[in-house]
Amino acid sequence: MVRLWNTATGDCRQTLSGHTKTVFCVAYSPTDDQIASGSGDRTVRLWDVVTGECCRTLSGHSGQVFGIAYSPQGHQLVSASEDTTLRLWDMETGACCRVLTGNGHEIFSVVYSPTGDQIASCGKGGIARLWDVETGVCLHTLTGHINAIYNVKHSPKGDQIASCSWDKTVRLWDVSGGSLRVDIRGHSQKVYAIKFSPKGDQIASGGMDTTIRQWDAQTGECLRVVRGHADTITGVAYSPQGDRIVSGSGDNTVRLWNVESGECLHILTGQLGIIEGVAFSPQGHQVASVSRDKSVRLWNVATGDSCMTLNGHSDGVGGVAYSPDGMQIATGSGDRTIRLWTVENGELHQTLLGHEEWVRSVAYSPQGNQLASAGGDMTVRLWDLEDQECRLILIGHSDWVRCVAYSQRGDLLASGGVDKTVRLWDTVSGQC
């Protein structure tokens, strides 16, 4: 799952559900209004930060998606996959504009340079590569690690690349020549996560030895060892102000740390699986975390409001969405019902019946007068919220339908399912 956390209070703000397998990576757009997530279901999903709705599903990879990154300008997204390719996506159209091949091994991580003209990637073969975004040509191949490289990051100035590996090391590379600058040693087991501080003077790393280590980015000297997690560190990130570090772990917790003292400020609990990745929003008012419990959560940093508990479903809840005006919440469940709740008081407003299997996803139209639902009965249903009746049943998927999302105008609905297809429907006629 992906969760957003309030860094001041440690409260969870929102949960985004839709992926059908483990979520491995998450990234904020530069404008802070969108989140991208990559999953073992071979898709990249784009989420609206305000509403929590899935606004687009990017399909094309033939293997699990392990890494994603937005370009600094936000007009492009790159994804890295088990299928050994990198894909560049146009954020305006959602189309794949280039496929980068030649890695030879599954790719774990990818990142843009600060100027957006280069991409760095790393993977299982123990090699990092620098790519020209415009031409797709591999500019440099960085060799030296003796085991899989799990993560790479550009320095804020773009003159360095940091890589971390299962060989227990962190390495700093010169971008212009592709040469090794510093070989950093100190971790006693595999290193999974690295991140430059906003000023580029420090690097944080974490791995299987359950420690977070802060390093001088010029000399490689270890500045501090932070302990507290009880299992592998899977993700680290600095706040935009550089005064905090957020970390995710195999102990199912997210922690916030003071950079100067190493003090643990908050322990964020509630997710039921390994935390696969963490990220601060560009303004630092939100934290996103992704977990193997297959959900996405957004947490309100500004208010730290506690989440309301809505009781009524008799089985697991598989989908949730806010109405556009924020006054209502819709939930779908294994009890085959959709329930509409009043946000202000948490009271049950209406129960919609019709699905014959688990309801996995729900979405409001932009106008708020219609609701779409998808479920294990292989159907998508459109509900009139004024009459509270099912208006259309959309049939075409050959297996469970896992997610639905409206276009911005509300005239199209996208659905995705276990049958590995994404379908676009006309919301007036019901035609695919």
Beta bridge partners of 206: 193, 212
Question: What are the backbone angles phi and psi of residue 256, rounded to the nearest 5°?
Answer: -110, 130
Q: Residues 229, 232, 238, CA angle at the centre, nearest 5°?
A: 70
Check: pTM over 0.85? Answer yes or no: no
Q: At residue 197, what are phi and psi to the nearest 5 degrees? A: -70, 160
CA–CA gap between residue 397 and residue 414 (Å, rounded): 12
Residue 408 pLDDT: 63
* Cβ atoms 378, 361 nearer than 8 A: no
Alpha-carbon distance of 337 to 405, in angstroms, equals: 19
Could you write out the three-class secondary structure of 71-127? CCCCCEEEEEECCCCEEEEECCCCCEEEEECCCCCCEEEEEECCCCCEEEEEECCCE
Least Cα distance to 74 among 40, 35, 107, 20 occurs for 35
SS3 label, residue 367: coil
Backbone angles phi, psi at 362, to 5 degrees: -140, 150
Percent helix, percent strand, percent coil in the chain, to nearest 5: 0, 55, 45
Distance, CA of 392 to CA of 284 (rounded, Å) = 42
For the chain, how many residues are written? Answer: 432
Residue 17 half-sphere exposure toward CB, CA atoms < 13 A: 21
> Is residue 44 a contact partner of residue 69, using CB atoms and an 8 Å limit?
no
What's the CA gap between 411 and 66, in Å, rounded?
33
Amino acid at 317: V
Tokens in use for 4?
């957003």
Compute the mean pLDDT over every residue in the chain, rounded to the nearest whole number. 83
| pLDDT, tens only, 363-417 | 888 888 999 998 888 898 999 998 888 999 988 877 777 667 776 678 777 776 6
Q: Could you tell me which residues come within 8 angstroms of residue 135 by beta carbon, excluding any fewer than 6 positions away?
A: none
Strands 244-249 and 233-238: antiparallel
What pLDDT shows up at residue 403?
A: 63
Nearest CA-CA partner of 275 in 303, 304, 234, 245: 234
What per-residue confidence (pLDDT) applies to 295?
45
Distance CA 123, CA 106 (A): 6
Low-confidence ranges of the chain (pLDDT < 70): 1-2, 4, 6-7, 276-277, 279, 281-283, 286, 288-311, 316-320, 326, 344, 346, 402-403, 407-408, 416-424, 432
pLDDT score at 304: 39
- 21's CB contacts (< 8 A; 6+ apart) are 39, 40, 41, 64, 294
